[in-house]
Chains A and B, each alone.
Chain A
Amino acid sequence: MSRALKRTMSRAHPLWLAYILHRLSGLGLVLFLPLHFWVLSLALDQAAQLDGFLALADLALFKFAEFGLVFLLALHMFGGLRLMALEWLPWSSRQKTLAAAAVAGSFLVSVSFLVQAI
């Protein structure tokens, strides 16, 4: 690891990581969305090509990429909600901890339901 990167990482803290994840997920979405719209546009005028593409989309690799996309979306959405709460609600740090715990708790519960459903 270069020294500059090492120094940057030595300054990393949880909120900084949340910021970086928010930015990176945003960049990932920017790269993905044009592709996404292009595929949707196929549905309008080139049905045959779309079918070919959908066959491709059945591949495991694609399933994994789809998971990645949903993950990015979720990250970016939580990041945005977190920012809005941080900047718009003058909460005390105790209130912030409670809110984060509530979100994490509900996330856990919903994931456990999801896992049961699959």
Chain B
Amino acid sequence: MSQPVVPSRTRADGEKLSVTLERGGPDGASYRQTFDVPAYDKQTVLDVVSWIQQNADPSVSYRFACRVGMCGSCAMMVNGVPRWTCRTHVSKVAKGGAMELAPLRNLPVIKDLVTDMDAFFDKWGAAEARHHPSQTRDDPIAAIDPDSPERQIADAAIECINCAVCYAACDTVAGDPDYLGPAALQRAWTLYNDAKEADPEAVLDAVTAKGGCHSCHSIGSCTAYCPNALDPVSAIAGLKRASAKRFFGARKR
């Protein structure tokens, strides 16, 4: 039996949220604009931005797709902290009924809350974070033991949704535009440990070049803010260890 659809209702007390958006594009100076938004009992930060765009100012630009924490497109700075907005409840982040939203840090702004994520994705390529196949489609499928320690390490980060929250949290990215950043390096660590990866040494070459894993100061903001509870700082530490071991002659295979 299907559930009846209950329209979400505003709170009985008619409370409003005061939501300040940082707006503007690459050409104009950014400015702040505050909106009064009706408070709902269950309401995400993304709901709030959608309400503003649909009811108060249709020119507000923002980005989302899945609304369920899968696509990684909705991240913004919420009260100065990078967060996935579709799965962040207003009740957890609003302070005294107020909230400040800004585009993701460390990325160029296209307009309002939309950032240009090219640099973020390009760095995945620069980290050689792409699979180098070890077999062709004609070979039998390689059996991988999911419980093997190596596979466990490789599995640790496969839930990354490319949301760039860690990238926005990282102070090293803020200070060094060439730094590859936590997500790309973590992806490289995953590949490096993947038994099906044909060229782990090429991955290690890429991540030990300038701007690679050795630029990381182990501040751990990436791990503190990753919405999927992933641990890029430990992955990067793994790359540092692998590069040190290689310096003393060890090879992956």
- Give residues in A with beta carbon < 8 Å to B: 6-8, 10-11, 13, 15-16, 19, 83, 86-88, 90, 93
Q: In the complex, which residues of chain A have a beta carbon less than 8 angstroms from the beta carbon of B223?
A: 15
| Pairwise interchain contact B221-A90, C-beta atoms closer than 8 A | no
Flag B227-253 by CB within 8 Å of A: 1 or 0 each. Answer: 000010110011011000000000000
A sample of 10 more A-B contacts (CB under 8 A), given A15-B220, A15-B224, A16-B219, is: A6-B80, A11-B221, A13-B220, A15-B219, A15-B223, A16-B171, A16-B220, A16-B224, A90-B237, A90-B238
Q: In the complex, which residues of chain A have a beta carbon less than 8 angstroms from the beta carbon of B81?
A: 10-11
| Cβ of A75 to closest chain B Cβ, rounded Å | 16
In the complex, which residue of chain A has the Cβ closest to the Cβ of B153? A90
For window 148-176 of B, CB contacts with A under 8 Å fall at: 169, 171
| Cβ of B233 to closest chain A Cβ, rounded Å | 8
Cβ of B79 under 8 Å from chain A: yes
| Pairwise interchain contact A87-B240, C-beta atoms closer than 8 A | yes
| Pairwise interchain contact B80-A19, C-beta atoms closer than 8 A | no
Bound Cα distance from A83 to B219, whole angstroms: 9
Bound Cα distance from A28 to B223, whole angstroms: 28
| Pairwise interchain contact A13-B224, C-beta atoms closer than 8 A | yes
| Cβ of A47 to closest chain B Cβ, rounded Å | 44
Cβ of B218 under 8 Å from chain A: yes
* CB contacts between A and B, total, < 8 Å: 45
| Cβ of A32 to closest chain B Cβ, rounded Å | 23
Among B77, B169, B225, B237, the residue within 8 A (CB) of A86 is B237
Cβ of B217 under 8 Å from chain A: yes
**Secondary structure class of chain A's binding surface, majority of residues:** helix
Among A10, A83, A87, the residue within 8 A (CB) of B80 is A10
Residue among B169, B224, B225, B238 with max Cβ neighbours from chain A (10 Å): B224
- Provide 6 A-B residue pairs closer than 8 Å at the C-beta atoms, listed in order of the A residue: A7-B77, A86-B233, A87-B240, A87-B241, A88-B237, A90-B241
Q: In the complex, which residues of chain B have a beta carbon less than 8 angstroms from the beta carbon of A86?
A: 218, 233, 237
| Pairwise interchain contact B217-A19, C-beta atoms closer than 8 A | yes
Bound Cα distance from A91 to B219, whole angstroms: 17
| Pairwise interchain contact B79-A19, C-beta atoms closer than 8 A | no
In the complex, which residue of chain B has the Cβ closest to the Cβ of A23? B217
Bound Cα distance from A10 to B219, whole angstroms: 15
Q: In the complex, which residues of chain A have a beta carbon less than 8 angstroms from the beta carbon of B240?
A: 87
